[in-house]
Structure 1
Amino acid sequence: MRKLFSIVFLSVIAFQASAQEVVLKNLEDSLRVGWWDRNTQLAVNFSQASFNDSWQGGGVNNFALGFLFNNLAVKHKGKGVWTNDIQFQYGFLRNKGLDLRKSVDRLFAETKYASSLSPKVNWFVGANLLSQFGPGYNFSDDGSRGNIISSIFAPAFLSEGVGIEYKPVDYFTLSLGGATIRQTIVGNSTVFENTQQEVTLKDGTETVASYGVLDGKKLLNELGIQAVAAFDKNLTEGLNLKWRYQAFKAYATENKPIDHNINLIATSKIGKYFNVNFTLIGIYDSDQVQKFQLSQGLSAGFSLAL
């Protein structure tokens, strides 16, 4: 995992370094040469509590550590806008006597090129990836760790599409990908074995699948329609709200219920280097479980804007 973080960090540094500043004398120069808008946020959050043997108020010794990294780089040139968005969240906690477990784990990357059709409407082509960094496990009622049920690229969701987007203001975008291809990847055989479910194919054949990926394969290709709503704005000088909603409706090779994915991050700055973060992740994917999955967290710690 340290190697992965190092590769990602060096890639971002190299990408930022390549976006050199240019001297723009007027609007015509700006549109011809192009310019970059960049925003990078790094946060480390920690919480801890401990109690001695004579403490009568109740409580369990515990600690939690979380990391958050966001990098947004936008290239403007002529009628075109090239957007690159990276969002990483990872955190874990441990209570006395229990195994270490994740509190949040999200890897998201998106690249998109859009060109203006009118002042508020663009056509776009883009791709995004959603996965996680570390292994996830089943936990029993007594808190002991069970089987591994997820890991990096098990599962992962890669989507590519073209469509139309509506952008009435700088901080909000609503897009519809009329032709979207999505790949579901399960690249870990142990995860597949521990999460497999019985499924019946169209021809009546019974087999097993993990996250929708059939036995003997590591990839599921689906064709569908994707809608995305994204919001990113400083509500006040010290409060930023970022949220993203993504819906995907598969109609080939099989018609399926709509998948929903929600991510929200609210960051409040306290002074120059400290922050409070509220995060929320919501998922509905019938290939995983036919229930709405929800995770939320509140943390405080060190932050740096680059």
Structure 2
Amino acid sequence: MKNLLAVSIVLLSLCCKPLFAQEIDTIPIKTDNLNLKLKRNPLPSRQWPLNFETVTIKPIIVNAKVNYWKTITSIALNVNQAQFSDNWKGGGVNSIAVGGQLNYKAEYNKSDYSFVTETNLQYGKVKNKGQLQKKTNDRIFFDNKAALKISKNWSFFGSLTFESQFDDGFSYKNQDDNEVATLISRFMSPGYLTESIGFEYKPVNYFSARIGTGTARQTFVLDTTLYKTNPKNYGVDVGKKVRNDLAFQVVANFEKEIFKNTVLKSRYVMFIPYKDLTLANIDHRLDVTLTAKVNRFMNTSITGAVLYDKDNDAKVQASQALSLGFAFVFPR
């Protein structure tokens, strides 16, 4: 027991020795007469409240205008030529063909109102050696449409369309080993002016269908002697120059790039006259154009038209043309 007490006393003395040494090492120092300087704070300090002043900043005016018009113009020129020597055993005939086409389209869109104008002019001729020169293409087409949107896909529209041709048209036949041309059409003989109002359905940008519930069409034959070579006279009474029709009309338009650099454009028109409403009196016309871009300045196109109008002919009429030539599109 005495030994345990002695050990405890020794341990307590060892633990208290550092505390005693620390208390002795801490010596208070008087700083009253010492010249001590504190390092200055680099940040400015203010004792008074901050005052904020209103600063007027002039607004930046951007001189920019919104253009609601979108226009595109394309011009195409096609030239085909063939030449053979007199002793060419493969056969053939010397020929030259020239054709041109101008397409212009302008579209205005603002809010629920839209306006579209489209012009298509085509003309071409071919001359074969020993034959009369003939037309390969001849058309004037001018279409204007204004529309007011009434729902997401439907609009109320009004349109005005004009169609005719530039040059005289002939039919050809051989008579006594000579080629004879007979005049059958010319500028404004016939000519068509169509006014239509109704509703337009346009679910996507590349397709639209006009339903013209109120449509009027004037057929012009200004050459009053044309009936002598064209007995039907395009439905206009002999001696008169104009015929008026009221009808229900459907116009469907499709234009889309179906392959890279290949555009398919088609227009179908169905004209149903309210007077003498029979299947035989319903007029149909389908125009199709397939254009493929070869390079920046050249393209190839194939055009076709199918027409049924009993005032022109009792049978279906058709035309087709294939061309390769220069093309210029603005803006590029």
TM-score by length of 2: 0.76
Aligned position for 1:117: 150
Alignment match, 1:176: 211
- Distance between the aligned counterparts of 2:190 and 2:215, measured in 1? 19
Cα 1:143/1:35, change in 2 over 3 Å: farther
Structure 1 segment 17-28 matched on structure 2, within 5 A: 23-24=65-66
| Superposed displacement of residue 70, structure 1 | 0.7
Quote the Cα distance in structure 2 between the aligned partners of 1:189 and 1:217: 7
Q: Which has more radius of gyration? A: 2
Pairs within 5 Å for 1:100-111: 100-111=133-144
Give the Å deviation of 1:50.
Answer: 1.4
Structure 1 counterpart of 2:224, from 189, 206, 212? 189
TM alignment of 1:31-110, pairs within 5 A: 35-110=68-143
- Could you tell me which residue of structure 1 aligns to residue 3 of structure 2? none
Equivalence for 1:236: 259
Give me the whole-angstrom Cα distance separating, in 2, the residues matched to 1:145 and 1:79: 56
Is residue 285 from structure 1 mapped to residue 327 from structure 2 by the alignment? no
Aligned-partner residue type, residue 271 of structure 2: F
Question: How far did residue 236 of structure 1 move?
Answer: 3.4
3-state SS, counterpart of residue 211 of structure 1: helix
Contact 1:151 1:191 in 2 (8 A): no
1:276 to 291, 296, 300: 300
8 Å CA contact 1:148, 1:190 repeated in 2: no
Shift of 1:189: 2.6
Number of equivalent positions: 263
Structure 1 residue 143, shift from structure 2 partner: 6.9
Assess if the C-alpha contact under 8 Å between 2:224 and 2:238 holds in 1: no
Q: RMSD in angstroms over aligned alpha carbons? A: 1.5
> Which residue is equivalent to 1:261?
285
Q: Write out the 4+ residue segments of structure 1 that deviate beyond 2 Å after TM superposition.
A: 189-193, 234-237
Cα deviation, residue 192, structure 1? 3.3
Aligned-residue offset at 1:237: 3.9
Which sections of structure 2, spanning at least 5 residues, go unmatched?
Answer: 1-63
Structure 1 residue runs without a partner (length 5+): 1-21, 25-33, 198-209
Which residue matches 2:191? Answer: 156
Question: Between the two proteins, what is the percent identity of the paired residues?
Answer: 36
* Residue 92 of structure 1, CA deviation: 1.1
